[in-house]
């Protein structure tokens, strides 16, 4: 009786393994995967559009200069 159980288990195992392998080896369909629609950006509220950027302009230019100087220094260095 024990050998019957083993043969049934072996048969079932082989059937499951062959199903799994045949699914892995199947030819992919030519239908492209579905693509999601990208949401359209909403317009900015009027209060945000009225923000004055002039006070931050000198700080931004200093930061840009610092970044350029740092980049020039680092281009001559060899990475570890």
**Would you state the structure tokens that stand for residue 80, as one six-digit string?**
């570890």
> pLDDT digits over 2-12, tens only?
677 778 888 88
**Would you state the structure tokens that stand for residue 13, as one six-digit string?**
């195992």
> pLDDT digits over 25-79, tens only?
666 667 777 788 888 888 888 888 888 877 788 888 899 999 999 988 888 777 6
**Would you state the structure tokens that stand for residue 54, as one six-digit string?**
């002039």
Q: Report the C-alpha gap between 24 and 41 in whole angstroms.
A: 40
Please write down the long-range contacts of 71-79, taking CB distance under 8 Å and 24 or more positions apart.
none
Q: What is the DSSP letter of 56?
A: G
């Amino acid at each position: 009786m024990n050998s019957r159980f083993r043969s049934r288990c072996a048969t079932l195992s082989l059937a499951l393994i062959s199903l799994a392998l045949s699914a892995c080896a199947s030819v992919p369909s030519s239908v492209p995967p579905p693509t999601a629609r990208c949401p359209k950006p909403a317009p900015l509220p009027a209060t945000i559009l009225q923000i004055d950027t002039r006070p931050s302009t000198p700080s931004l230019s200093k930061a840009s200069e610092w970044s350029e100087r740092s980049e020039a220094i680092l281009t001559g260095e060899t990475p570890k």
